Amino acid sequence: MSERIVISETQLQPLKGQFPDIPTYPHVDTVLLYQGDETNPFHVTLPIAEIGRVSDNGLEYDEELVTAIAEQMSNGAGGIRGHIPDDQLSTAYPVDDVHWIGHQLIGQTLWAKGYIPPGQTREDIRMKKARGGNIATSIFGDAVKEFVVAEASKSRSRTWKARQFQLEQIDLAPTKRAALKNRTGFVITREMEGEMPPEVKDNVVQVSDVPEPIREQIIRESDLAKKVERLAEMETRVAELDGQVSELVQYKQIVMEIRSTLGKDTDTAAAVAEQHKMAATLAEMLGVEYSNITITVSEMHESIKELKQKEFDSAVTATVSELTKWDAKTDAGKAQVDAFRKTFKRTLISELKGDQTPEKLAEIAQKLWDDEYSVIGAAVVSSLSGPGAFVPPKAPISSGSSNPSRISDEMLATEGKRYGGSKN
């Protein structure tokens, strides 16, 4: 899994050289920015990053990283002297010493213009310029670290790239900590019309001081950079639109499925909102999280189903027991009665065909008893009481009887009803 790391890249800027005229962002309110400093606004112009360069830390400044820095600078980036300590990142809120108010990508180099308000930082930079000193900037943010794989060996090299870069600020830093030394430096400039202060005037490179070939090259590179930047903006916009279209296609399928369930004439938004409200209320009543409603309701349903089945089984047992109130004295007799009742219960459940209402249960049980189980029950009762004594009748036995000791079927049925407790 990719982890984000803190990026802190310090770059050395000598206070000399030739510099382009960087326009201020259109959205910057210069009247409010220069309030109290209208006659002498103080700016620095310097290169922030260069495509293709690699710092001493191994970070490759590719086009993606430099473009990300440029785009995020226009969102109101600022900077302080040094960096916020790691243990104060979540709470510190220092006052900016520099306000970045413009940038321009010329060729491979990203130039930036910063406004330095009156104070200690402005005086320090002015003194450094006067004595020919240096200044360093430090890009501070976080990104995903991605090592570059060498094509020849197919192994990971020490060079790495910063992906998904998030800019926090661009600070001013001590020159000894510079990890990337630029070939050019920065210049102090001003935007307001009028006479330039003497301490600044001698240190500013005028457009007329720049040789004609260099001016033409700067203009060409500036135009090309604008076109490249515009193309990048268009490509970004196209990518955003493609993503929105893909999302809309996905939503369309979801909406179609919802409408097919609710009906095409149903107010889909109102119906979904109402169902969401009902589900949220149910979750609150059950005391569970919204996402666990289905699991909880399913478990409750299974519990109720099991409870109903137990109640039905108990009712069947009670009904069969009511029809077979036999008192078996021996273990063999008890086993015979138990086997009879089990057979009766299986037949009864089968005949009910899933109908578990008490009325149907009583009806089918009585019907089965009257039709066949009372007869079988008579035999069970007979076996429980043992063989009966035969007392011959006093009257002569009819010659039509071939077996005077045999109990007729009618007598067996009568005895079965009497011992079985039939209600009829």
Distance between CA 194 and CA 55 in Å, rounded?
A: 41
Task: Walk across the sheet containing 4-14 and list its strands.
Answer: 156-173, 134-149, 4-14, 180-181
pLDDT (0 to 100) of residue 387: 55
Buried b (16+ CB within 10 A) or exposed e, 363-391: ebbeebbeeebbbebbebbbebeeeeeee
Last residue of a domain, one of 226, 249, 266: 266
| Cα–Cα distance, 379 to 411 (Å, whole number) | 12
Q: How far apart are CA 358 and CA 348, in angstroms?
A: 13
CB contact at 8 A, 329 and 308: no
What pLDDT score does 290 carry?
A: 66
Instruction: Yes or no: say if 406 and 367 are a contact pair by the CB < 8 Å rule.
Output: no
pLDDT value at position 342?
92
What's residue 314's pLDDT?
A: 92
Confidence (pLDDT) at 218 = 73
Residues 108 and 38 in one domain: yes
Q: Which residue has the tokens 């930079």?
A: 125
Q: Which of 223, 251, 266 finishes a domain? A: 266
- Name the DSSP class of 74: T
Whether 142 and 258 share a structural domain: no
Same domain as 198, residue 333: no
Q: Is 218 helix (H, G, I), strand (E, B) or coil?
A: helix
Distance, in Å, from the CA atom of 372 to the CA atom of 360, rounded to the nearest integer, reads: 18
127 and 14 in a common domain? yes
Question: Residue 287: inside a domain, yes or no?
Answer: no
Give yes or no: residues 169 and 228 share one domain: no
Domain that holds residue 366: 296-387+406-420
In a domain, 242, yes or no: yes
103 found inside a domain: yes
Handedness of CA 305, 311, 317, 319 (dihedral sign): negative
pTM of the model: 0.42
Same structural domain for residues 16 and 116?
yes
Residue 24 lies in a domain: yes
CA separation for the pair 208, 287 (Å, rounded) = 78
In order along the chain (424 residues), what is the average pLDDT of each group of 10 residues?
A: 62 62 91 90 87 85 92 88 76 88 91 92 88 80 80 61 88 64 42 39 51 70 73 81 80 77 76 79 76 74 84 91 86 88 91 90 91 85 64 40 43 48 44
At residue 261, the 3 state secondary structure works out as: helix
- For the chain, the domain total comes to 3
Same domain (yes/no): 195, 259: no
Are residue 180 and residue 258 in the same domain, yes or no?
Answer: no
Give the C-alpha separation, 415 to 164, whole Å: 94
Cα 202 to Cα 208: distance, rounded to the nearest angstrom: 14
- How many Cα atoms occupy the beta-carbon half-sphere of 313 within 13 Å? 7
Residues 93 and 222 occupy one common structural domain: no
Residue 79 to residue 11: CA distance in whole angstroms: 14
What pLDDT does residue 359 have? Answer: 92
Which two three-digit tokens encode residue 221?
Answer: 């590179």
Residues 28 and 138 placed together within one structural domain of the fold: yes
- 203 shares a domain with 157: yes
> Are 91 and 37 part of one and the same domain?
yes
| Helix pair angle (358-368, 331-352), 10° resolution | 120
